[in-house]
Amino acid sequence: MMRKFLGSALAACMLLSWSGSASTQELTVATPNDPSVDPHYLYLSTNAAYARHIFGKLVDRDENARIKPGLAVSWANVDDLTWEFKLREGVKFHDGSDFDADDVIFSVNRIPNVPNNPASYVSNTNMIDTITATDPYSIVIKTKDPYPLLLRRISGVSIVSSEAVEGGTTADFSSGKIAVGTGPYKFSEYIPGDRYVLARNEDYWGDKPAYEKVTFRIMPDAASRVAALLGGDVDIVEGFSPSSVETLEQRDGFYVAKRASARTLWLYIDTSNDASPFVTDSDGNPMDVNPLKDVRVRQALAMAIDRAAIVERIMGGLAEEANQLVPMGWFSHNPDIENPPLDAEGAKALLAEAGYPDGFGLTVHAPNDRYVNDGKIAQAVAQMLARIGIDAKVETMPKSVYFGRLNKQEFSLSMIGWDNSLTGSSLMSLSAAFHTREPDRGYGGWNAGGYSNAMFDSAIESAEQEFDMTRHEELLNEAMHILIQEDRAAIPLHSQFTILGVRDGVDYTPRVDEHFSAMLAAPAG
Amino acid sequence: MTNSPLERQSPVRRFWNEYSESKVAAFAFFVLCAIVLTAFAGPFLTIQNPYDLAQISILDSSMPPGSESMDGATFFLGTDDQGRDLLSAIVYGLRISLLVGVVSGALAVVMGTAIGIFSAYAGGRIDNAIMRVVDLFLGFPSFLIALICLAVLGRGADKVVLALVLSQWANFARIVRGVAIVEREKEYMEAAKGLALPKTRIVFGHLLPNCMPPLIVVSTMNVAFSITLEASLSFLGVGLPITEPSLGLLISNGYEYILTGKHWMSVYPGVALLITVASINLVADRLRDVFNPRLNK
């Protein structure tokens, strides 16, 4: 009996010490995000990041958001409407079947037809008029209108196996039954809310990743993720809190990987509802007018926001103040746009002029598990609004609830963070989040403020069809100017940094789009 | 039965003498009184109203204990990550915690007692049916019930109270029924029935008072439990709005900084919670001893 006990204790010790010394072949990542295994379901950048592991694309974006060949080896823009692609030959899906043009056509056609999809990838395919195969390894895409950014758009289209996926559902992806792609990793196991395990695809056509097995541990709590890293349970922590950066940098055995990202946080303003859901008068009673429709009120809100304080006190300096929806230095950043000066008295005067000398009640909505310090930023914004006489409240909720409600325009002032790397410009955010909602044409799919301005819309539509990149940028800059400087229809806050905590012994360089990629991790040395 | 300390003729003095035989319990009682007084006098004592967004500033955030604010006031316990003075926030947090604890405790006692007594007095099938419902509620952990309620109801102090009542009334119903069933069979009840007194008088005038001693002990303990439960719910981010943090939410906010050396953000609210709950429990423990006839000399 005693011997048996000793034996099992010894075995347990060995097991513990073995799992403690992280093997060079295995990578464990603590992440706050549950994946959608179906690469065409729920378009969030966290899901796009997961999809890159299992699925390939015709063209992909590298870690600096530049276009690089993927399943297409070459392409040509024959005329304004026609694009030809040569596909990579000899590529195998994880189930051993061959990749060819049928899979591309199947994937493009599947995207608009995923049932009950809360956020579709259709904005990446709806400019496509026809897609045809001229032979098994050549396809021709014709767009409805001239569309210079087609390559960037289809870099957001994951290619699934037509044979495996035909007739399958999103749930079949989650169970792993049809999670069949051509990517560097294969599906191995997914336990919702707990872990997502991938195994290296030994037949991958490109550079093979360094780690044989990657385990994503899903841990929504930031402090627990840090503790898991310090305790040696995980190698990398995604969504590392700025408040813990200093601590980690002082510790031996760990380092912080950080990089200014393409994600800008801003606040949507409900500019269209006649009575906004979370606006009350100064006594807390519902109002039958929506003060946010008045540009003077929006100007006052913009004048209340102290971005320097947010960057310094909440983000620990790891963010950059924003005055528009793309970070400085990016294509289509309009240098003529400025934030109004921070001026509480001026803001109060504007509110009085608009007919609200006593302010009004307004709730700031934000997720509490999506962006760096999202809940704290919302509270800080509310503080700043309180200073100009607005009775501000804050409500935060998990992203699973938040984004559904946001996109139904259920909020009055609400936070979002937009990654600009897909188009590498302001085009995607402007056309999805502020163009008048026109689902058939793929516009305004995220227009959660109900903004609608004909001049803005036409600038976006022209920009989208403009092949001359100088003119293209001018049009985007014009649209941004209308939206921010003239209409103040959104309040830019800051561009965040992507921050990861990493164990020494693992090399990791973040991507500019914040997508975590196990392919970029390698044993040090 | 005749020397029950709750009968009107027995003076408070005698009760206190017996209670204060335990010095620890007496001390806990004074601590508790001090906490309650501080909580209620809070708005006159603190340097700011931490729930008024216009009075706090993130420029004052994460300052260590003893720092001075921009306008010269001193943050004795430092500030949290939104720039709230922690001392003020703790005092206001105590107000909420005590209020939620006492109100939900009282409502749960009233509801549980009414149902328990009715069940015991009615007996038979009705008793059986009611007790199965009670079993159903007791079958789930009270934390789970509260969590489900808040997920459905949303945020706010009133909703937290409702959630706590729903998760706790069944306990009281079970206890009161147990006591009442024993009492029901005693001679004084037969005498009351024999005198053909009205049912309400029998129940409220005779049955209820004799069920009181265990009820007082359990409900006191329950206040401590409610406070802890509310703190746990807040810690998880359900319950009260984030701009009006109770103790649990203050601890939760500071928890993120515990590894960064800014320990004051969660340690001080934690200590406040600890002292409050411990003193209530000590008082309840002593009450149980005082009311327990077997321990009486």
Residue B131 phi/psi, 5-degree rounding, is -65, -30
Say if residues A340 and A302 touch (Cβ distance below 8 Å): yes
Nearest to A114 by CA among A71, A157, A154: A157
CB-based contact, A387 to chain B, within 8 Å: yes
Say if residues B134 and B166 touch (Cβ distance below 8 Å): no
pLDDT tens per residue across all 525 residues of chain A = 444 444 454 444 444 444 444 456 899 999 999 999 999 999 989 999 999 999 999 999 999 989 999 999 999 999 999 999 999 999 999 999 999 999 999 999 999 999 998 888 998 999 999 999 999 999 999 999 999 999 999 999 999 999 999 999 999 999 999 999 999 999 999 999 999 999 999 999 999 999 999 999 999 888 889 999 999 999 999 999 888 898 899 899 999 999 999 999 999 999 999 999 999 998 889 999 999 999 999 999 999 999 999 999 999 999 999 999 999 989 999 999 999 999 999 999 999 999 999 999 999 999 988 999 999 999 999 999 999 999 999 999 888 889 989 989 999 999 999 999 988 899 999 999 999 999 888 899 899 999 999 999 999 999 999 999 999 999 999 999 999 999 999 999 999 999 999 999 999 999 999 999 999 999 987
Q: What percent of chain B has pLDDT over 90?
A: 40
Beta-carbon separation of B155 and A395 below 8 A: yes
Chain A residue with CA closest to B50: the answer is A383
Please, which residues 201-230 of chain B have a Cβ atom closer than 8 Å to chain A? none
Q: What pLDDT is stored for residue B121 in this prediction? A: 85
Of A331-345, A409-423, B18-32, B65-79, which range is least confident? Answer: B65-79
- C-alpha span between B242 and B82 (Å, rounded): 11
- C-alpha span between A125 and A71 (Å, rounded): 17
Q: Residue range B149-175: average pLDDT?
A: 90
Amino acid at A392: A
- Considering only CB atoms, B57 lies closest to which of A227, A247, A383, namely A383
Q: What pLDDT is stored for residue A10 in this prediction? A: 46
Nearest to B247 by CA among B230, B225, B223: B230
In the three-class reduction of DSSP (H, G, I as helix; E, B as strand; rest coil), residue A80 is classed as coil
- For residue B135, give both structure tokens: 């079993």
CB-based contact, B59 to chain A, within 8 Å: yes
Chain A residue with CA closest to B262: the answer is A243
- Pick among A225, A226, A230, A383 to test the B interface (most B CBs inside 10 A): A383
Beta-carbon separation of A380 and B256 below 8 A: no
Give helix B208-235 / helix B247-255 axis angle, nearest 10°.
30
ipTM of the shown complex: 0.79
Measured CA to CA in angstroms, residue B111 lies from A484, B115, B166 at distances of 56, 6, 9
Q: Residue range B218-240: average pLDDT?
A: 87
Say if residues A39 and A47 touch (Cβ distance below 8 Å): yes
Beta-carbon separation of A383 and B56 below 8 A: yes
Q: Give the mean pLDDT of chain B.
A: 87
Q: Give contacts of B54 with chain A, Cβ < 8 Å.
A: 383, 386-387
Q: What pLDDT is stored for residue B169 in this prediction? A: 93
Q: What pLDDT is stored for residue A434 in this prediction? A: 97
Q: Give contacts of A244 with chain B, Cβ < 8 Å.
A: 256, 259-260
- C-alpha span between B229 and B235 (Å, rounded): 10
- Considering only CB atoms, B58 lies closest to which of A309, A375, A392, namely A309
Q: Give contacts of B243 with chain A, Cβ < 8 Å.
A: 379, 382, 393-394
Beta-carbon separation of A227 and B259 below 8 A: yes
In the three-class reduction of DSSP (H, G, I as helix; E, B as strand; rest coil), residue A501 is classed as strand
Say if residues B88 and B78 touch (Cβ distance below 8 Å): no
Please, which residues 18-57 of chain B have a Cβ atom closer than 8 Å to chain A? 52-54, 56-57
Q: What pLDDT is stored for residue B4 in this prediction? A: 53
How many angstroms separate the CA of residue A188 from the nearest CA in chain B?
32
Q: What pLDDT is stored for residue A493 in this prediction? A: 97
CB-based contact, B295 to chain A, within 8 Å: no
Beta-carbon separation of B81 and A376 below 8 A: yes
Q: What pLDDT is stored for residue A2 in this prediction? A: 47
Q: What is the full DSSP assignment across B98-115?
A: HHHHHHHHHHHHHHHHHH
- C-alpha span between A264 and A322 (Å, rounded): 7
- C-alpha span between B35 and B277 (Å, rounded): 11
- C-alpha span between A190 and A184 (Å, rounded): 17
- Say if residue B52's pLDDT is above 80: yes
CB-based contact, B151 to chain A, within 8 Å: no
CB-based contact, B82 to chain A, within 8 Å: yes
Amino acid at A503: R
Answer with the residue of higher pLDDT: A253 or B291.
A253
- C-alpha span between A176 and A193 (Å, rounded): 16
Q: What pLDDT is stored for residue B45 in this prediction? A: 87
Residue B36 phi/psi, 5-degree rounding, is -65, -45
- Say if residue B3's pLDDT is above 60: no
Measured CA to CA in angstroms, residue B295 lies from B23, B214, B220, B288 at distances of 17, 14, 20, 10
How many Cβ pairs closer than 8 A exist between chain A and B?
68
- For residue A458, give both structure tokens: 């036409």
